């Protein structure tokens, strides 16, 4: 009888930990989101699909997950260990496309949802199945992302991982990433070097030194090359005897073994949760710095805004000084049509937008940290068009209102003279001729109004850029995720360990 003894409340603590992970918004910005979320999803899966079922259902068989590259012989080994044709094998790669589990009939219902995946469970009465379930996985080196993800999910819920590598191709096919991932969870690993032939006696030692060079620990079992029986898709029982013995050996002191694995997985999972919480805090600080940096840089640019050359080359720079302007003849022959004014305003509008946009690009290029946000720049540039465009249109409205008191026939000219004077160009006396002695007041007011509006546009552009980076800085607490794991570890000190 298997009985995993743990302190009261461990299960509830794990449930809460999983809920904490699920409910926290761990994103700190567009560029940190997916990495953090992937880690979080994996830790939730380990708690919900491995630890909690293991604790609530201690009698479930020990799950041995066979993983490895396509064609390494996983399905053939599983068929051979069980003496049945369970899993399709074959020359067409990859052959196994979904999880197939071989178990005793008694354990069927506990395994249909193994690893949170719908699994095909095939039952049999081979002795090895009395305490063990053999889990066949799709290839881990798959071109099919779906296969790889499935295999990774299954490995995350294993009590033991059997990593199968073919002696024919192992040199370039050791899946280091997957191995490290399996080890990071605390799962015991057994390596099978499959299809070892008499012609390559050094393969086992060579394989062993490759693993140890990479800091990977685990027993290695060699399985010799044999003829595969056509009907059963298996090699003779003799070939897998040592592997079978080793696996059955694990179930002898099942209680102790199970507790040891649980403890290892709890330790590694809780450590990773604390690390994740720390990482999220660091990410948040980092994005907080970016956020502050962006806003400060836009503020600086807004303060240093220079409008002096904006009207260069435009017709408005030719507004003459008072004497000629006073001449009715000149005014008649140079009367500004409203279409000319619209054209002039639209050129000026484009120049102002281009100025803010070029400041935006300069800020982003100057900041190395922002180099990675490429696509966001275009998004923010579109924001500049909208924000700055609105600011300038509002300004034009004001300028038009300022000339209300002027003779209707001279209004377009007055708008131009005011714009020109506000931007520091044209003859100051031109404005004076049209606006009288208050010309300075009009000019200064228009100038201030434009600068204020542009400053707001800079602030809004900075906010828009920060928004499009989806920066989430420091407010939300990850305290729960930093403290609760410690409680879980304390409780996981089993009564009889």
Confirm or reject binding of residue 234 to ligand GTP (CB under 6 A): no
234 interacts with, out of ligand GTP, Mg ion, none, CB within 5 to 8 A per kind: none
Distance CA 23, CA 362 (A): 38
Confirm or reject binding of residue 96 to Mg ion (CB under 5 A): yes
Q: How far is the CB of 137 from ligand GTP (least distance, A)?
A: 8
Q: Which residues contact 371 (CB under 8 A, 6 or more apart)?
A: 365
Strands 100-103 and 132-136 turn out to be antiparallel
Q: Which of 24, 39, 82, 89 is close enough to bind ligand GTP by CB under 6 A?
A: 89
Q: Quick check: 152 and 181 in contact, CB under 8 A?
A: yes
User: Measured from the CB atom, is 6 or 70 closer to ligand GTP?
Assistant: 70
Place of tokens 């393969």: 203
Q: Which of 40, 48, 195, 427 is close enough to bind ligand GTP by CB under 6 A?
A: 195
Residues 136-175 within binding reach of Mg ion (CB under 5 A): none
Place of tokens 């004001």: 398
Q: Which listed range, 221-229, 322-330, 388-396, 443-451, lies at the site for ligand GTP (CB under 6 A)?
A: 221-229
Helix extents (H) in 253-337: 254-303, 322-326, 328-333
Q: Which listed range, 16-24, 220-228, 321-329, 396-404, lies at the site for ligand GTP (CB under 6 A)?
A: 220-228
Confirm or reject binding of residue 28 to Mg ion (CB under 5 A): no
Give Cα 268 distance to the centre of its chain. Answer: 22
Q: Please give the structure tokens belonging to residue 232.
A: 């059963």
Q: Quick check: 383 and 467 in contact, CB under 8 A?
A: no
Distance CA 457, CA 441 (A): 24
List the one residue out of 411, 427, 438 whose CA is nearest residue 321.
Answer: 427
235 interacts with, out of ligand GTP, Mg ion, none, CB within 5 to 8 A per kind: ligand GTP
Give Cα 50 distance to the centre of its chain. Answer: 24
Q: Which listed range, 22-30, 53-61, 222-230, 357-365, lies at the site for ligand GTP (CB under 6 A)?
A: 222-230
Residues 262-281 within binding reach of Mg ion (CB under 5 A): none
Place of tokens 């053999």: 134
Q: How far is the CB of 240 from ligand GTP (least distance, A)?
A: 10
Q: Which listed range, 67-75, 182-190, 253-261, 285-293, lies at the site for ligand GTP (CB under 6 A)?
A: 67-75
Q: Which of 16, 19, 85, 94 is close enough to bind ligand GTP by CB under 6 A?
A: 94
Q: Which of 12, 38, 90, 361 is close enough to bind ligand GTP by CB under 6 A?
A: 90
List the one residue out of 154, 171, 199 whose CA is nearest residue 64.
Answer: 154
Q: What are phi and psi of 140, to 5 degrees?
A: -85, -15
Per-residue x/- mask for ligand GTP, residues 428 to 457, rule CB under 6 A? ------------------------------
Q: How far is the CB of 264 from ligand GTP (least distance, A)?
A: 27
């Amino acid at each position: 009888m298997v009985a995993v003894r743990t302190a009261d409340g461990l299960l509830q603590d794990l449930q809460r930990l999983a809920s904490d992970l699920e409910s926290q918004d761990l994103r700190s910005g567009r560029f940190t989101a997916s990495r953090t979320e992937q880690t979080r999803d994996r830790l939730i899966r380990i708690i919900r699909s491995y630890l909690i079922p293991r604790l609530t259902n201690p009698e479930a068989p020990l799950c041995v997950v066979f993983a490895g590259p396509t064609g390494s012989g996983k399905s053939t080994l599983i068929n051979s260990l069980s003496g049945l044709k369970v899993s399709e094998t074959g020359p067409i790669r990859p052959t196994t496309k979904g999880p197939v589990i071989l178990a005793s009939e008694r354990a069927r219902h506990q395994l249909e949802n193994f690893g949170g995946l719908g699994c095909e469970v095939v039952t049999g009465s081979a002795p090895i199945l009395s305490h063990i379930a053999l889990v066949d996985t799709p290839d881990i080196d798959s071109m099919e992302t779906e296969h790889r993800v499935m295999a990774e999910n299954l490995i995350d819920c294993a009590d033991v991982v059997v990593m199968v590598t073919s002696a024919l191709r192992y040199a370039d096919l050791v899946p280091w990433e997957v191995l490290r991932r399996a080890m990071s969870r605390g799962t015991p690993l057994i390596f099978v070097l499959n299809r070892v032939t008499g012609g390559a006696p050094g393969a086992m030692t060579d394989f062993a030194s490759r693993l140890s060079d990479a800091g990977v620990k685990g027993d290695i079992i060699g399985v010799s090359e044999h003829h595969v029986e056509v009907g059963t898709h298996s090699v003779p029982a003799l070939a897998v005897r040592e592997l079978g013995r080793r696996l059955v050996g694990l179930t002898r002191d099942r209680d102790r073994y199970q507790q040891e694995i649980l403890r290892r997985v709890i330790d590694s999972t809780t450590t990773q949760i604390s690390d994740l919480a720390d990482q999220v805090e660091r990410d948040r600080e980092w994005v907080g710095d970016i956020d502050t940096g962006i806003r400060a840089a836009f503020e600086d640019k807004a303060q240093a805004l220079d409008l002096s050359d904006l009207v260069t080359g435009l017709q408005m720079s030719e507004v003459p000084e008072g004497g000629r302007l006073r001449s009715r003849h000149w005014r008649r022959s140079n009367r500004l049509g409203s279409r000319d004014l619209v054209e002039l305003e639209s050129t000026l509008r484009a120049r102002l937008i281009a100025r803010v946009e070029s400041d935006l690009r300069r800020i982003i290029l100057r900041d190395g940290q922002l180099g990675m946000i490429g696509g966001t720049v275009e998004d923010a540039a579109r924001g500049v068009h909208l924000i700055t465009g609105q600011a300038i249109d509002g300004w034009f409205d004001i300028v038009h209102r300022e000339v209300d008191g002027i003779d209707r026939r001279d209004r377009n000219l007055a708008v131009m003279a005011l714009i020109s004077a506000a931007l520091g160009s044209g003859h100051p006396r031109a404005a004076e001729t049209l606006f009288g002695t208050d010309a300075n007041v009009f000019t200064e007011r228009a100038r201030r109004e434009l600068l204020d509006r542009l400053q707001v546009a800079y602030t809004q552009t900075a906010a828009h850029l920060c928004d499009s980076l989806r920066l989430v800085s420091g407010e939300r607490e990850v305290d729960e995720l930093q403290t609760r794991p410690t409680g879980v570890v304390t409780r996981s000190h089993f009564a009889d360990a």
